[in-house]
Structure formats: structure tokens, C-alpha cells
Structure 1
Amino acid sequence: MSLAALALFGVYLGVGFVLRTWLQWRRTGDSGFRGISGRAFSPEWLAGVAFVVALVAGVLGPVTALVGLDPISWLHTPPVQAAGLALAVIGIVGTLMTQLDMGASWRIGVDAGERTALVTTGAFARVRNPIFTAMATTGAGLALMTPNLVALSGFATLFVALELQVRVVEEPYLRATHGTPYADYAAHAGRFIPGIGRLRLAEATTAG
């Protein structure tokens, strides 16, 4: 299962980053890559760094399993690993599909001076951050395929990175850029799951 997890992680990187970047470049002439936001050690910067650390841990999880790092025994069972495989595949497909739903607005990172269209259709109709939901699903699946301390720590880091990216980078940028339309949208669309994490109108307009 470690080799399968490593292969799926390669597919995930290829589909979610390389292929999507190429499609964006082909469509718009822009890679969509904006990099890590904020000054060193700011919450925005830490969100980006944590995401990079999570990606590295995503590789090291199956690699350390292959070289003999013991799994957590109560998670190292065929049903759990099979569930992990299913989640990883669903997450990879979901990552690409939700990225495609963003169309020309898709970016990796945020440029505070840039204005892109607010996407509220497709996967974004009921969830504000479906790409991150799909990424978390992928990360959980891969961690369960090789459930050792490195893989599980990587997933925990990914979870923290996504929360930080949304709360201290994405949402403040969208409030500042789109104002009332974003506030209306955030009042009925959940943050990561439909119905959960919706913001009150005043909160969506002013809160951090």
C-alpha cells in the first residue's frame, strides 16, 4: 500500500498542480501561481510554509513506511487502508474538478492587488472552498494508506495550513475585493462543508 500511496501522491501533484497550471497557462497566458503571501513569520507566511511542509510530509509518509517506519497498529488494517485509497482517489478527482470550476479565477496563492471574478457556481455554489475540501480529503486518504507518525503529522499540518490560508489570506482578500457580493455569498455557502462555517453578513464584511 505504501507504493500505491506514493504513486497516488505523484498523480495528485501532477493533476492538481502541473496539469492545472498548464491548463491555466494555455487558457490565459498566466500560470496562476502567486506563491506565499505576507512577510516572514506572519500568519499568511506561516500558512504557505505549513502547506509546503505538508506536501513534503505527504511524500515522506509512504517513503518512511517503505524503509521500515512502523505504522500505528490500530489504523494499519485492510479496511482502513482501503478506505484511505478510496478517499485519496475521490480527493484527487475532486481537486481537479473543483479547480476547473474556478475557470480563469484559479490561483495558487493570493496577490492582494489583483481582482479576479468571484466564483459562486458549480462546486462553489454551496461551499466557499471546495478545492481545499478536496485537498483535505486527498491528504486524509493518503495518510490512512500509510498510517505512520510522519503521514498523520503531515495531514495534521495540511489541515492547519488550509485553515490558516482560508481565514487569514483568502477570506480577508475576498472581503476587501468583493465587499457585499462576497458577504452575501458567505452568508449562505459553508466554508468547507455545505451549511457549516457560513458567516453572518456583518461578520463576512468586517471580521477576520
Structure 2
Amino acid sequence: MPPCSPPNSPWAPPGVPPSTPRNTPLVTTGPFRLVRNPIYAALTVVIASLALAVPNAIAVLGLAVMALGIEIQVRRIEEPYLQSIHGNDYQRYAARTGRFLPGLGRER
């Protein structure tokens, strides 16, 4: 990571919000109509498949560490940021859409 990377750069430390709010629309179509995090869900399926293909302690540990990391990233960084940017629209979307699986992890 460069020592003085700006917040909008890809090398910004995790959890650093962009320096200017991004006024992008909330995407709720395509795979996002089923789950809020389809890319993370697909990544988890791929890593779980690898752990099943090479069933050893390291593969299972890697899957667990990755799943925990994704869960922390989504709950502590991404969801609060989306809530702050999109407000009630995101709240309604989160109430009807699962976090990683359809119907599971909906916000109340």
C-alpha cells in the first residue's frame, strides 16, 4: 500500500470511506434482487467447492477465515456505508433481500 494513498484510491486502507459521497443509485435488479451481496456469495461457493475438492485442515481453515472476513467487511463497513448513503431505500431493500442467500439475513 502506498504510504499516502488518497481515500478514493484502490490502495486506501479498509474502512476508509470515500472523501466525497458517491451518489450512485441503489442497485436492486439482476442478481441483487435475490441477495444483497451476490459477488461475495459466489466467492464463498467457489472457495467452499475448493475446500471440498481438497478436503484438508488448511482448506477448511481458509474457508472459515474467508467467510469470517467477508462477514465482518459486509456488516461493519459496507452495510453502514450503504445505509448512510441511501437511507430508507436501503433499509427497505435490506428488509426484503437476504444478505448472502435469498431470504436469509434480512434486516428487521
Q: TM-score, normalised by structure 2?
A: 0.81
Out of 1, 15, 20, the residue aligned to residue 38 of structure 1 is 15
Gaps (5+ residues) in structure 1? Answer: 1-31, 40-109, 201-208
- Are 1:34 and 1:111, in contact at CA under 8 Å, matched by a contact in 2? no
Deviations 1:98-129 (A, max 9, x none): xxxxxxxxxxxx63644133110000002101
1:125 aligns with 33
In structure 2, the CA distance between the partners of 1:38 and 1:122, relative to structure 1 (3 Å rule), is closer
CA RMSD of aligned residues (A): 2.0
Task: Write 1 or 2 for the structure with the bigger share of helix.
Answer: 1
In structure 2, the CA distance between the partners of 1:148 and 1:186, relative to structure 1 (3 Å rule), is same
Q: TM-score, normalised by structure 1?
A: 0.44
Q: Which amino acid aligns with 1:38?
A: G
2:48 aligns with 140
1:111 aligns with 18
- The answer to whether structure 1 residue 151 and structure 2 residue 37 are counterparts is no
- The answer to whether structure 1 residue 169 and structure 2 residue 77 are counterparts is yes
2:6 aligns with none
Instruction: Quote the Cα distance in structure 1 between the aligned partners of 2:57 and 2:21.
Output: 39
In structure 2, the CA distance between the partners of 1:194 and 1:112, relative to structure 1 (3 Å rule), is farther
- The answer to whether structure 1 residue 199 and structure 2 residue 90 are counterparts is no
In structure 2, the CA distance between the partners of 1:38 and 1:124, relative to structure 1 (3 Å rule), is closer
- Moved runs in structure 1, 4+ residues, more than 6 A? none
- Are 1:127 and 1:194, in contact at CA under 8 Å, matched by a contact in 2? yes
In structure 2, the CA distance between the partners of 1:123 and 1:164, relative to structure 1 (3 Å rule), is same
Q: Give 1:195 shift.
A: 0.8
